[in-house]
Every structure is written in structure tokens, then in C-alpha cells.
Structure 1
């Protein structure tokens, strides 16, 4: 469409640009007599009516969360409109050019100016993080330098609110190769530290005129996962290196980075930020095996999308983990800190080990809620650590067929208060990505029709693991419960991989 009107008040004048997530239009708000930018979000093709409805609903919810972000360094969202079966975001119109265009035309920036830009963007990110929002696509093309001197972080359209699934959550990874933090390439959801890494990669472009990792999309992904950050000279070199530390825990506190950037912007030297080479370098080959899968997926989608921001298909934790042959304490597969986050308590319970004919298990119960995990075996094997990859595949397939067979089950969990058998309806079994090498999940609905328990089954090499999150509380939404089970499963996968 070359022109049109939305909500009876926004006249679409002409396209301003397009990317992997949609098209941006110059528009006129006839009610307030002002120019605005309207982003038309593109939804995947081939979706059912229900899937489309669910995604539109979710996008509107995300837009509502975005609208709460009020900061001079964040592009303002004025309105969200649902028309033509898709969402449209009405935003303030910025006049100027992106950081990417500026560097392309004028070359690398002086350290002081780059530091000021970085500090302004970091303040905007910190404001978003304080409200539980991650940007997830910080890059030179999303940093806008206005004619009035404002530095604005744009394109929160794929932002992620902590604790919520997003429009692009299920099996998809959004970002731009060379600006995606390594932990997100490894299939983890990431967090504020991931945005900090991306800002460091953006500052590298501002200072050098080229990305830290160059080449094709596949080459940039491979380099991010396997190569250290290239040396960057000048007062901001140590700061950028620290921001781009491979492991999130090694990156400095954003407040420390902000102080360093402001100091350089004011003409002073940057303070030295401690960097431990052991925790900043890429991990050992076990992690690097993910690179091949990401490279194949990234290159294929880039060719199809033809966009600078594109979707990477996450097909799990990639590659062949070595066989697990040494028995381990299954209560160590989800640490206490993660249990506390999942159960929303500062005093998480200790794991309670147990076992049955299926295999060793551990539970972390509290009154009314709990997390459980079990490493499984088949009837022909002595213990899970004696399973082969072939027998684990068969067990995983049998488990999937078993759970797909029954529409309802009776269950109890005395430790959380369900002492009498409770009848629960099962939701459809569905395939999951981003957990192990293959995974499926389903939920159980209680008598009121709301989800009370979410279950994830996954296979990693020769192990089959089941994880559940259950709550009897009214506050968590169905999606909260699903995400809690998924996070618990992902945490156990990381623990297993780290144990190899």
C-alpha cells in the first residue's frame, strides 16, 4: 500500500524504511496535526487464525509495556493500532541520521564524542532495564543522532519484558550478527548484560568505523562464539573490551561503565576496569560446537530475509554433547539462586533428592508451589548414566507418545500441599526449541481451567530429563507458569553442559 489511514486519524504518507520486523512509514496525525512515524509489524506467513490472534495480542501487550518507557534517550511510543490483522506502532518522528549512517559518511568518531553517545544510550538502557525491559537489538542502526543533538535508542519493537514471552520468543532469536551477545547465540534468553555487550559492539563501530567481527553473517556469528574481542586502542579500548567480555558475569556494572564513559566524554582518561582473561575469553570447544548450527541457520535466513535485522532459528543447544557416564547429584542441576528466582523467594528451599523406578529426581517445594526435576531411564537400563544416545532417543519418543495419549491425569504433590489426588486436563503436547537437542512440553489445567503445572521433557546426548513447575497461586499467569518451567529446564541444560 502506498497510502492509507489508520484508526481514522493517521494518514500514511510514504515508506521511510523496512527491516526484518516490518516497515516504517512517515505519517500524519490529523487529530494532533503533527508528523509521526508508524511502524507496521510483520507477522510470519502461514499462521492459523488463532496463532495470528495470539501474536497480535502479545504484540499489543509488549507495546503497552514499551509505552511506559519515558526517557529522552528512548523513542516515544504514542499509540498502538491493530488493523488489517496486524499491529501498527505510532512513534515520535526523529529527524537526523543513525550512528551507522554517520560513521559510514564521516568515518570513525573521536573518543570523546563516541563516549558521550555511548553514555546516553547506556542511560536509556538502564532506564529500560529498571522496568524489566531488554532491548535485544542494540546496534549502530538503532542509535539515532537527532539534529537537535539528542541521542535516541530506537526500535524497541522486539524488546523483551522480563518474565514474559514475546512476539519472537518461541524458537526464534532476533538480532543482527556481530551485535548479538554470545550467550544469546548459545540459546540463553540473555538479560541486561546482553544489551551491554551489544552496546560495546556498537561503540567499536563508532570508534573504528568497522564492526569488531567482520565478514558474512555466518562468519560474524562464528567469530562471536569462538574469538576474543579484537584489541581497541585509545582511551575507550579497555572499556569496550570489558563491556564485550564473553561471559555476562565478567562484564562490569553498567553504573561503572557509565561513569567511565562520562569521564572520557568530559575530556578525562577512562578509569581502568578490571578484566579477568579467564572469564572473558570464549568457552571451550563444548560451547563452540553451537557455532556450526547457528551459522547454517543464520546464513539461510539472512538470504531469505534480505534484512539487516533478521531471525535466527534456534534449534536447541546444538550439537552433540558428549555422553554423560558419571552419576551426579541431580539436585545440583538447578542452583539455589535460580530456584529462588523461579519460586519468587529470597529463601529458596534446598533440593530434596529422591528416586523411583524411572530414575533419580529432586524437588524444591514450598507451600503452594515447587520445582521438580528427574533424570530418566528405560526399564532395560540400570541407571540414566548407562543410557546410550540411541536408547535415550527411543525413551524420549516414547515419553512424547505417552503424554500425547492422555487428555487428563490424576496427580499429587504432598510437599506443596496437594495431598489428595487432583484431576487435571492436559494441554496439547508441543515441540520446543532452545532446550537440549530435542524437547517437548505441555501444561496441566486445574478445575478452574487455569494452568497449575507446566512440564518440559528434553534430551541432551544420552540423557532424558523432565522438569516441572507447579503453583497453586492465583497471581502467576498461564504464560508465567510456562516460562518458569522453560527457564528451569534451560538452567538444568546449562548445568549439564558445564559439568562436561
Structure 2
């Protein structure tokens, strides 16, 4: 980019806004002589050249999936440019204001107007769902009302293409509190019905001027899982309650829902929808049970506890810390003596810090073996220390599902001597005891069938930690490698507890 110009064609004029995934610019397409919006996707600092290149490839692939969506209710993607080692998305420029801004300025909308907006957004979602694409962040700020009268669904930046690993694949509890469907808060990937729940919560704001669940972010998460579905006044009330049913199967299908919304938009009453079960009793349709309720309650307490020092809250049963919310040097989580024992050396290496889109990490490599650790985050959180117990549990569960999908991976660790990617077979993902509140592990086997590397993932309160131990030596048995990874994980857990 030179003198504010991207790809020699798009002149960046001024920023329009910024969010967790990047910055949006007002720009001028000099070739076609028109104004456009350019979204600059930012990547985390500290990534290696290969990690940055992989992230750019994934972002471009996601943009390609979004570009296939052609509908007046979906913001059009004109071009994708990779420059300065990051992607830039060139989109149509919308003039108007978001649904959220409109409600804040003018107050609640009449039922017929809100229903028309809902029907238009539903039509756009149906097109996306037909392409196997979930939006995952339907909310008032992502519904745009243009000056010409179009209703446009924006920001497919965290959308998920079915069957593909996405840019945010390893940070999976994404969305906006109060607009995330309950099944996704329970760690499930969700589907089209999850977007319908979010649309119902969005229309609740349009109709009443306030969110269905208010309070802090953690309080909204807890209410989504535990409180009955609120019923808005007027003809849309029962319809929105059905859209926000706790169980996805109890929500109306898109065709029935579209007909009902259009009927209200025309000034009529919403038809009575068939109800498969009691949609107002979360305890009857949720699978998380008492454990999930405790985790959400802990998240509520964490938010109000302050941010100075480690905030340690005690559960009622086992004394497990409930939150760590001050950043720390992850290279201090495994001490030199423990590193020396694990690597069987009297001169343990210093930790090599790093970071990528998953979170801060540290490695202790020597020729032939190494220990690695990463404290992880989801894609909607600034750093791991800002995670809640709810989002950490969802991240942990989705990591477990993620690794269970792949039987073969490309494994490399240049610092210990594996410079070229090696095809490694993954052993079955299994539960691990003796570390964290919940843990799983798996191993990678080389071409000889011997275990090269063992991984342990564990959750402790609001943190998800992954630990790897690898060796190229012939002497350690497969069980030795597994036990070394477990000892490294236990050492890091002790360090976290001691820090509290």
C-alpha cells in the first residue's frame, strides 16, 4: 500500500469503525469511480511467517465462501486483496444506520415494521444457510437499514462454512452475549436454528427497545441458559418466544416463520405456531444441568470481582479457583527444574515465548525433544485472562471435537529437529485424569508406529491450557511420552494455583 492506496486501485479515505476482527475504511475505487467500504483484517502480533501465511489463506477462503452469497439482503463483497501480509475485503458501501442505532435514537418500532425487517433478514439467512454458511453473529448492530429502504445483513466475518475449518475454528464460543443461542453456549457448533434464535433476540430489541436479557455480559449468558424466554407485547410476542425456544427443534422452520412475519408485516396477526414442547422451561430442554449452571454463576461473580491481581473465587465443593484475569508470563508456568527433568538435561533451555491467534505460548526445545505450552482463547476475547468460565468450557469442548475429527496431521517442530512437515497418525482422543477440572489427550505416531508427541488439554476455571511433550529418541516408551506430557500439564496447573 502506498500513499493510502491499496492494490494501486483503492484509495483509503478515512476509518469508519473498528471491531475485534479489524478496521473498516471508507475508500474510493479509482478504477470504477465509486465509493466502497474496505475491511482490514488484523492478525495477532508475534505470529511466525508460516502462521501468518496460513491465517491469510484461511481468511481468503472464508471471503470466497461469503462472495458466493448473492442477495440484496446480504452486503456484497467486491474484491479481496492480500497486501502487507494481511487480507483486505472490498465491499459495497452502505449508507444509513444499523438497527441498533435506529432503536437507540427513535425508540421501539411498530410490530409491522419490525416484522418486515425480520422477514428480510430471514430471507438473507435462508440464502446463506442454503450454501452451508452460518452467520453466528446476528444482532442489532449487524442489521443495516439503508437510506433506500434495504435491510442488509452485514459482517459475515465469523461465519462458518459447514465442513471446513475456519479462521476462528479453534475459538468457537463466538458471537455477542444476549444474542448467542443457548445450544452454542453449551459448546455445540449450532446450525441454522441458532441463527434463528439470534434473529428472535434481535427483533425483541426492535420491538421493545431493550434486549431480552439485560445486565453484564456474564449475566446475559447466564440468563440465556437459565431464565424463561421473555414474551414481548403485541402480535410478534408469541412468535419471538417460539424463535427463542431453548431447544433448536422447538423453533419454527424458516418457511413457516417467513409466512408468519410477512403476515404481521401486512398488518395482520401472527398465526398460531405448532409447539413441540414447553419452550419456556430451560431445565426441561437443556442438557448442561447443574454443572453448567455453576459455571455460568461463577462467570457472573468474576465480572463483578474487579481486575486487580488474581481474582480467586472458591466453588462450593472442591476449592477450584474460579477465575484468573490478570495476564502473566506463560513461560513461568513450567519451572527450570521441571523442564530439566522432563527433557533429561542438567542445562534446561530458557522458555521461548510466542503468540498466535489462539493465544500466548512458550516452548522449551533442545535437539531431539521439547516441551510446549499454550494458554488459549476464543476468537471474541482479547486474551485468555478475559475469558469467563462459560466461554472456557465451550472452548475446551470444541477443541476436543476439533481434534477428534482428524486422524492424520502434519507435525513439525524445527527447534527439536523436525524441520519438514511429517505425516503423523493421531491416536483416539481420550479423557485424562489428574489435571484440571476436565482434561483430554491424544498422541501422534510417526511412520514407525512409535509415539513422537503427546498432548494434554485441560481446563482450570476460565483458562484452557494445551501442553505438548515430544521426543525423537528411541529409548522412551510410548507410555513414557504420555506420562511426560501429563507431568508437564500438572506442573503448569500447580503454577497457576500457586500464583493465586
Deviation, 1:317, is 5.0
SS in 1 for 2:173: strand
- Cα deviation for residue 278 of structure 1 reads 3.5
Structure 1 residues 126 and 303, CA gap change in structure 2 (3 angstroms): farther
Describe how 1:98-177 pairs up with structure 2 within 5 A: 98-177=98-177
Which 4+ stretches in 1 moved above 6 angstroms? 296-304, 371-377, 392-397, 424-428, 437-442
Residue by residue over 1:449-475, the C-alpha shift from the partner in whole angstroms, topping out at 9 and shown as x without a partner, is xxxxxxxx9xxxxxxxxxxxxxxxxxx
Partner of 2:201: 201
Q: Secondary structure at 1:47's aligned position in 2?
A: coil
8 Å contact kept, 1:77–1:89: yes
Match of 1:315 in 2: 392
Question: How has the CA–CA distance of structure 1 residues 171 and 297 changed in structure 2, closer, same or farther, with 3 Å as cutoff?
Answer: farther
CA contact (8 A) 2:107 2:209 kept: yes
Matches within 5 A, 1:446-461: none
Displacement after TM superposition at 1:292 (Å): 4.0
- Answer yes or no: is the 8 Å Cα contact 1:289–1:318 preserved in 2: no
Alignment deviations for residues 109-146 of structure 1 (CA, whole Å, 9 cap, x no partner): 00000000000000000000000001111000110111
The separation in 1 between residues aligned to 2:453 and 2:6, in whole angstroms, is: 37
2:103–2:109: 8 Å Cα contact kept in structure 1? yes
Equivalent residues in 2 for 1:227-238, closer than 5 Å: 227-238=227-238
Q: Is 1:31 the equivalent of 2:19?
A: no
- TM-fit CA distance, 1:80: 0.8
Matched, 1:70 2:70: yes
Alignment deviations for residues 390-439 of structure 1 (CA, whole Å, 9 cap, x no partner): 4x879978x65xx36x54444xxxxxxxxxxxxx99788474889xx979
Alignment of 1:473-492 (within 5 A): none
User: Is residue 368 of structure 2 the alignment partner of residue 291 of structure 1?
Assistant: no
Contact 1:409 1:426 in 2 (8 A): no
Structure 2 SS opposite 1:158: coil
The answer as to whether partners of 1:2 and 1:13 remain within 8 angstroms in 2 is no
Q: 3-state SS of the aligned residue for 2:157? A: helix
CA contact (8 A) 1:74 1:154 kept: yes
> Per-residue deviation at 1:92?
0.2
In structure 2, the partner of 1:191 is 191
Deviation at 1:249, TM superposition (A): 1.4
CA distance in 2, matches of 1:52, 1:310: 19
Instruction: Find the counterpart in structure 2 of residue 413 from structure 1.
Output: none
How many residue pairs get aligned? The number is 362
Q: Are 1:91 and 2:96 matched, yes or no?
A: no
Is 1:261 paired with 2:261?
yes
Contact 1:171–1:433 (Cα < 8 Å) also in 2: no
Return the offset for 1:5: 1.1
Q: Which structure 1 residue ranges, 5 or more long, are not aligned? A: 321-333, 335-341, 344-370, 378-388, 411-423, 443-456, 458-500
Question: Conserved in 1, the CA contact under 8 Å of 2:111 and 2:234?
Answer: yes
Q: Which residue number corresponds to residue 247 of structure 2?
A: 247
- Gapped regions of structure 2 (runs ≥ 5): 284-288, 308-323, 328-378, 407-425, 469-481, 483-500
Within 2, Cα distance between the matches of 1:174 and 1:374? 24
* Contact kept? 2:137, 2:175, Cα under 8 Å: yes
TM-score (norm 2): 0.64
| Counterpart contact for 2:134–2:159, Cα < 8 Å | yes
- Partner residue, 2:347: none
